A = this chain, B = another copy of it.
Amino acid sequence: MTGDMEGHSGWKLRHIFNRKVKQADDVSSKATDDIDFDLNIINTEKPTDYAQLETFHRAVYPVMLLAQCFSLMPLTNIWQLNPRRMRFKFKSLQMLVTIVFMVVTSVLLVSMLKHLFKIGITAKNFVGPVFFTFVECACILFIDLARKWPALMRHWTRLELIFNKPPYEMLPTNLMQRVRLPAVIIIICSIIEHSLYQASAIVNFEQRIIICAEAQNTTADTSFDNYILHNYEYVFQVMPYHRITAVYILLVNGTCTFIWNYMDLFIMMVSKGLAYRFEQISMRIRKLEHEEHISESTFIEIREHYVRMCELLERVDNALSSIILLSCVNNLYFVCCQLLNIFNKLRWPISYVYFWYSTLYLVARTACVFLTAATINDESRSALGVLRRVSTRNWCVEVERLIFQMSTQTVALSGKKFYFLTRRLLFGMAGTIVTYELVLLQFDEPNRRKGLLPLCG
């Protein structure tokens, strides 16, 4: 099926070659590319048919294409199933989109900061600039990731060929479903969240205009222009109002919300992709349980695949852990902010709906990112039970090494190696947030009793 399936001597050659390639890979991704590509042509008559393989790239590329529409990860040829065709180029349409978006966001951010310095920064109105800063950082980190992505995907796909052949089996829910399901859920939920946000903002604006107009005996102007002028007044302190600018502001806001959600989604998809392979290894080990005699070479092979998956994880972690760190800080900051406002009184039912939906969605999304990432760790250890039951007859040094490695190594994505995304981390974080919330609730009561500020003036 693939180039790896030729005769023994060829395989050996390729094995050694592969190693050299992998080395070169780290230094210069471009060179590797060509070599690898040529190799494919020379060595195998029929090239690998990626459309029939269950690869992570194939599962993830539609979501990445969508992200490119929102100016993330400027890569060319992302829609090709063969990851060798993917390129990162500074001079490309995608890069241009990204840069334009970042410039526009910067303008928004600067005008907002200027506005805030004028009216005084507080813990509560600081949320806006923080949101835009996180989005800008995410953009930069995704550009950096895009640079490493083609080489990483080639490495990943090459490794995935192993898991597309027996004795490995496809799992009941296949890779594509696993990767795409969270994408669909997150995108739908975030669209609802953004709609509710807009609805709440519009209702707030309209009601205020109408009620205040009545109180002051003036006519209420609830037009689109007036809405934008009121809600984004800080922008129009920097530049004159124009309806195109207004539409543009709404677009940028939507894009920012998408990016803000995509960070978490991307971590979840990568986690699913990695956990799937570890689950396949566990499944293979579990099937050995009922065999009378297992040869050492089987364990040698399993251990090699396990170690190579750990290596891949390591490499993915190196590329991704800045984004993970950003996503964690981002999530914890916004969860704390929402929890701080949990007992605030609001004026309109739609505001309550929006507030509670967004809070629950945020908490659920945060928990999901952690839990999905933690499955890598869970799956990597899930075969330990079976390995412990290997009988004395089948016991060999390779099983011992595999058990030792599984027991002592923390196989998990990390936030720049400061912490590993495991289930126990989530428990610790939840504990800290709950304690913090308890202390807040205890002492914030006087503030909460104050009630609503006057609507007009």
Contacts and interface: CB of A to CB of B under 8 A. Distances in A.
A427 B419 contact: yes
B392 A395 contact: no
Nearest to A431: B432
Interface in A182-204: none
A123 interface: yes
Contact of A417 (B20, B403, B423): B423
Contacts of A430: 418
B442 A444 contact: yes
A169 interface: no
Interface residues of A, number: 54
B385 A314 contact: yes
A286 to B, nearest CB: 10
A434 to B, nearest CB: 9
B392 A296 contact: yes
Given A300-B392, A310-B385, A418 B426 contact: yes
B378 A417 contact: yes
Contacts of A314: 385
Nearest to A123: B441
A424 B431 contact: no
Contacts of A20: 290
Interface in A171-225: none
Given A417-B378, A435-B432, A444-B442, A307 B388 contact: yes
Contacts of A405: 388
Copies in the complex: 4
Nearest to A408: B407
Contacts of A8: none
Nearest to A16: B290
Interface in A384-420: 384-385, 388-389, 391-392, 395, 397-398, 401, 403-405, 407-409, 415-419
A19 interface: yes
B300 A388 contact: no
A224 to B, nearest CB: 36
Contacts of A432: 431, 435
Nearest to A286: B23
A6 interface: no
A188 B343 CA distance: 40
Contacts of A426: 418
A310 B388 contact: yes
B385 A311 contact: yes
A336 interface: yes
A440 interface: yes
A351 B155 CA distance: 53
A372 B275 CA distance: 32
Nearest to A402: B388
A436 interface: yes
Given A397-B392, A407-B408, A417-B423, A442 B441 contact: no
A397 B444 CA distance: 61
A419 B424 contact: yes
Nearest to A443: B443
Contacts of A403: 404
A19 B290 contact: yes
A40 to B, nearest CB: 22
A438 interface: yes
A453 interface: no
Nearest to A122: B445
A439 interface: yes
Contacts of A441: 123
Given A300-B392, A314-B385, A378-B417, A436 B436 contact: no
5 closest Cβ pairs, A-B complex: A418-B427, A407-B408, A417-B423, A419-B427, A418-B423
Interface of A: 16, 19-20, 23, 123, 289-290, 296, 300, 304, 307, 310-311, 314, 336, 378, 384-385, 388-389, 391-392, 395, 397-398, 401, 403-405, 407-409, 415-419, 423-424, 426-427, 430-432, 435-436, 438-445
